[in-house]
Chains A and B, each alone.
Chain A
């Protein structure tokens, strides 16, 4: 069963704690992305990676960190430096080049920080 998995679905943390969100894909896609979704603001890009061991900042990277040690995995850490971390986080993957740019999303993780 191919696709993108994110875990956990719901996550609760106390303010000041770092938290890591998991994203795994078995689509053999080169590129992976992390987005944050807030009501009325659409999807905002946090980080993306086009190849293993390389990643780029998106529009709202401050307070977040990522790693890409394996092609199929792209975990996101929400650090205590992120001022407003409560949000719905979406992971996506795509293949670019070869005429197809389709991007597929995981089911999301809802993070609540109190």
Chain B
């Protein structure tokens, strides 16, 4: 079964808007939650990551919000730009062992 559930499958946002992608997990042993950005034909690139001892992490226009009690975490892209158009994956791991990935969200930012 899917260890990490990601939604929505696709997202269309106007330039300057906020893109929000959500992920949920069940295994409370997960201790590392990264987000990856992937452009067509390329490998995923690590975007930002969080550990469960903090509720929010911000890097530039990208923010992870983490809700430990709800077992959910989300990626917020502020001031979304056409160059942000890509597929985004959330993931979770235990002690950096196996990584479990969501099914991906295809983001399109309209100029």
Cα–Cα distance between A95 and B95 once the two chains are bound (Å):
10
Which residues, 33 to 71 on B, are CB-close (under 8 Å) to A?
34, 36, 41-46, 49
Is A103 at the interface (CB under 8 A from chain B)? yes
Least Cβ–Cβ distance between B98 and chain A, in angstroms: 6
Number of chain B interface residues as a range: 20 to 34
Contacts of B98 in A (CB 8 A): 45, 48, 58
9 contacts between A and B (CB under 8 A): A4-B43, A6-B43, A42-B103, A45-B98, A94-B99, A97-B95, A102-B46, A104-B46, A107-B43
The number of residues on chain A lying at the interface, defined by a beta carbon within 8 Å of a beta carbon of chain B, is: 30
Our pick among A33, A40, A110 for the contact of B99 (Cβ within 8 Å) is A33
The interface bits of chain A over 46-81 (1 if a CB of B lies within 8 angstroms of the residue's CB, else 0) are 001010000000100000000000000000000000
Q: Of B32, B44, B49, which one neighbours A90 at CB under 8 angstroms?
A: B44
- Give Cα A97 to B39, complex, Å: 29
Question: Which listed residue (A41, A42, A50, A103) contacts B46, Cβ 8 A?
Answer: A103
Q: How far is the CA of A41 from the CA of B9 in the complex (A)?
A: 10
Q: Known A40-B103, A42-B101; judge A108-B41 contact (CB<8 A).
A: yes
